[in-house]
Amino acid sequence: MAAVAESPPPEPVPADALLLRLDGFEGPLDLLLELARGQKVDLARISILALVEQYLAVIEGARRIRLELAADWLVMAAWLTWLKSRLLLPSGSEAADEAESAAEKNGVEAQDTEDKDGGQNIGWVSNGDSLRFDDVNFGDSPATSLVARVASAVADGVNGRIEIRIDSATSPPVGNLPIGNTGGWQTWRSQATDITAVTGVHAVFLTFAADRGDDFLNLNYIKFTH
């Protein structure tokens, strides 16, 4: 019988780490920042107010604390605040484009959603599917990122992505958003990616690509931010 490989023990938490207990996350601040940058935690569930309150409580309660350590924590908290602001406070007045309202849908179906605002989402998205949105007004100020509301229970080893294209389904992508498992087909998360700056009014094509033919994505809406 072959020996079963044991998982390596978890790395110990440094003694000087700032440990957080937040809705959606419990652990050191630097790990939360790392997960947020890799879009592996739902920042929409993280309370920045609670984070700041816990930071201040630690600072006020410590008799002695290195100034540079407190400064490092403050920089990490500022990064998290900025990342969350990209999801929750997009500039401009553009409304979200609901996925089910796309002018053209290829290979996907609409279904009732369990996301917080109700309505419908696009489901059963797999490699080669696509959506087209007509007359998307980016305005005079360049849009530089896309936020997508996504859910996935994709199997391990399936690497999928949303490709954002302008005016043609075959034009080079202005951005790509990798998709991973969010915990369930109705477990929703807001994810963002940078795009090449776009202005004016255009048709937007979302093409979906994966290294296998499995369904890998449910999509509720997209929003371009500046």
Give kind and range of the element (H or E) at residue 88: helix 67-88
For each of the chain's 226 residues, which pLDDT tens digit applies?
A: 444 444 444 445 454 566 767 776 777 777 666 766 665 666 666 676 776 677 677 666 655 566 666 677 777 777 777 666 655 544 444 557 899 999 999 999 999 999 998 999 999 999 999 999 998 988 888 899 999 999 999 988 888 999 999 999 999 999 999 999 999 999 999 999 999 999 989 999 999 999 988 899 999 999 998 8
Alpha-carbon 38 to chain mean position: 9
Residue 44: beta bridge partners?
none
Q: Check residue 76 and give its pLDDT.
A: 74
**Crossing angle of helices 48-61/67-88, nearest 10°?**
170
97-225 CATH choice from 3.40.1210.10, 1.10.287.370, 2.60.120.260, 3.30.360.10: 2.60.120.260
pTM of the shown model: 0.62
Six-digit token pair at 2?
Answer: 């072959």
73-115: pLDDT as tens digits: 777 777 777 666 655 544 444 557 899 999 999 999 999 999 9
**β-pair type (184-198, 97-98):** unpaired
Check: CB of residue 70 under 8 Å from CB of residue 191: no
Neighbours of 31 (CB within 10 A): 17
- Looking at residue 68, what is its pLDDT? 63
User: What residue spans define the domains of the chain?
Assistant: 19-88, 97-225
DSSP annotation of 10: P
How much is the pLDDT for 95?
58
φ and ψ of 153, to 5 deg: -120, 35
